[in-house]
Structure 1
Amino acid sequence: MGEINVSNILPDEKVKSLVQSWLAEDTPNFDYGGLVVGHKMETAELLIKSPGIVAGVPFFDAVFQQLGCEVKWLCKEGSKFEPCTRERIATVTGPCKNILLGERIALNCISRASGVATIARRYLEIVGKTDWKGKIAGTRKTTPGFRLVEKYSLLVAGADTHRYNLSSMVMLKDNHIWSSGSITKAVEATKSVSGFSTKIEVECQSLEEGLEAARAGADVVMFDNFKPENLMSAAKTLKSQFPYVVVEASGGIDEENISSYCVQDVDVISTSKLIQGYPAVDFSLKIIKKNS
């Protein structure tokens, strides 16, 4: 099997629609700066100015494609730049007015996408130093309107996206359980409508809740806010009785302590830090000055 091109997972029309909404937001009527530069052809260089993993290439491309510009990449998406001092990684050629119309939107997108990929890769590198073979996943705590980019960036880094939205997997959390009366009632009600192809995950605060969820037919049991030593014991007990149930650990997991959660019988570690705690990678787009 050859190298997988992650960008093939993206629906073209969805990306196009996102880009159109971004452009409409940034230029709702007049582009006053466009008067200064006009439509003369120019080439700009994209510079990466801080360490990071490059991600968000399809969205960057789509911005300038919408504006009639051509992007040529000098690196592959997923490339790591560290240390980094203003390295040129792409060029954009087209009418100057249009390059500048797309500049900030494209930079905003790629800097944030690269930020997600960079922190996700860092977590993966930390976990890679252990013997654990499970998956690191981002959560649904995404930026409104920017989820597609953030979830895509996790894939570029090699992390798992977890569920994409409320329709892609059922997750029964404390509010669902309290409102329905019990874990068993919540799972049974869900199974009556979700169909055979939709997995059901239950957030559990104790081993007893985890066992109840597994007995009720949950596919995934998430042990939430467990200490590592308690997690190890709970995961081992649940797996001994329900070996095919996926065990997930979540809650309070960060770079400092994630290694301690990489225990046997845990299949997935999920953390919101991959999407809520990322610093943006610094990029700039500069028109190349012509010799006079």
Structure 2
Amino acid sequence: MASFYGDLQHLLPSNYKSLVSSWLEEDCPSFDYGGFVVGESPSEAKLLGKSKGVVAGVPFFNEVFSQLGCSVEWHIHEGSSITPITHVATVRGPIRKILLGERVALNILARCSGIATKASSLVSALRDNGWSGTLAGTRKTTPGFRVVEKYGILVGGADPHRHDLSAMTMLKDNHIWACANNRAADDGGASSVNSVADAIPRAVKAAKAVGGFATKVEVEVRSVEEAEVAIEAGADVIMLDNFTPDGVRSAARKLKEEQRGRSFLIEVSGGLNEGNAADYACPDVDILSTSSIHQGTGIVDFSLKVSLR
């Protein structure tokens, strides 16, 4: 589902155009032998949706052909669900340029639409189960393709989560262990469970000091006790990572009841997918985060067919 607040392409950074340029260059780094055969005569091609899914990736598709001097007329809105076979758009321009951009444009559209489809499906399943919280992706994205994957998540109606290390301070288990080890080394001893618990408030304080008021701090915890320490230290988001469904329900309820006077969100992550996410969805959980909606997902199949004159 596309955002009802406005056109999502207005979110895109200016560098997405340079990414498209690099993808075109990668696909044709020297001579276009096939293009030489067909020439430059004006032509048009139909973009056909050949499988069920949610269409996403329109601005990237448009930019591919814009850079090649072609135009795209869309016959549906981004975020629409399609069934085979749907005439989704028409591309017009020199035939060589249409074919030059064909594979790059289709690859982007297919992948982005596959992500939007998976995200939309899981959001709908959770809503049907009565859960009103936030479904989010993760930072397990493909290098160089992150902006497309995050965009697909948004079109599908899910939350993209943080885009990069600067978007939010997330103190994961390795951060906490590293702080505990550093403190233990300074004290001339080995780290322990107690030193790990002690490291959480020190890590949160340091993150708050440099991130300022505008940067939220999230802490990954392994137990209710660690979560309590993190909340008291001022963490904005608590991640219950790799808890069982029953463990999540118990921990989330206990934290929300005991820490009623504090403002924080509870996120659940670790192995969530379409088959088990509903087991973790409960009123005390604010966020479910999963890489299953953008990592290893399928595609929506599209083809570009040149019209015969």
TM category, shorter: over 0.9
**TM-score (norm: length of structure 1):** 0.96
Q: Does 1:194 align with 2:211?
A: yes
Q: What is residue 80 of structure 2 aligned with on the other side?
A: 79
Q: Secondary structure at the match of 1:4?
A: coil
Q: What is residue 30 of structure 2 aligned with on the other side?
A: 29
| Partner amino acid, structure 2, of 1:116 | I
Please report the RMSD computed on the Cα atoms of aligned residues, expressed in angstroms. Answer: 1.3
Q: Give how far 1:275 is off.
A: 1.1
Q: Give how far 1:2 is off.
A: 6.5
Q: Does 1:226 align with 2:243?
A: yes
Partner Cα distance (1:273, 1:85) in 2: 25
| Partner amino acid, structure 2, of 1:35 | F
Q: Structure 1 stretches of 5 or more lacking a match?
A: none
Q: Secondary structure at the match of 2:33?
A: coil
Q: What is residue 56 of structure 1 aligned with on the other side?
A: 57
Partner Cα distance (1:128, 1:7) in 2: 26
Q: Give how far 1:10 is off.
A: 1.2
**TM-score (norm: length of structure 2):** 0.91
Partner Cα distance (1:172, 1:47) in 2: 45
Q: Does 1:270 align with 2:270?
A: no
Amino-acid identity (%) = 53
Q: Give how far 1:86 is off.
A: 2.4
Q: Secondary structure at the match of 1:186?
A: helix
Q: Give how far 1:265 is off.
A: 0.9
Q: How many residues align?
A: 287
Q: What is residue 151 of structure 2 aligned with on the other side?
A: 152
Partner Cα distance (2:6, 2:210) in 1: 35
Q: Structure 2 stretches of 5 or more lacking a match?
A: 181-198
| Partner amino acid, structure 1, of 2:223 | S
Matches within 5 A, 1:135-146: 135-146=134-145
The CA deviation string for residues 30-76 of structure 1, in whole angstroms up to 9 with x for no partner, is 11111111110110000111111000000000000010100000000
Q: What is residue 39 of structure 2 aligned with on the other side?
A: 38
Q: Give how far 1:259 is off.
A: 1.0
The CA deviation string for residues 266-287 of structure 1, in whole angstroms up to 9 with x for no partner, is 0000001011131011110110
Partner Cα distance (2:209, 2:11) in 1: 30
Q: Secondary structure at the match of 2:305?
A: strand
Q: Does 1:289 align with 2:288?
A: no
The CA deviation string for residues 6-50 of structure 1, in whole angstroms up to 9 with x for no partner, is 221112x22211111111111111111111111101100001111
Q: What is residue 183 of structure 1 aligned with on the other side?
A: 200
The match for 2:264 among 245, 254, 257 is 245
Q: Give how far 1:175 is off.
A: 0.7
Q: Secondary structure at the match of 2:294?
A: helix
Q: Secondary structure at the match of 2:255?
A: helix
Partner Cα distance (1:85, 1:21) in 2: 31
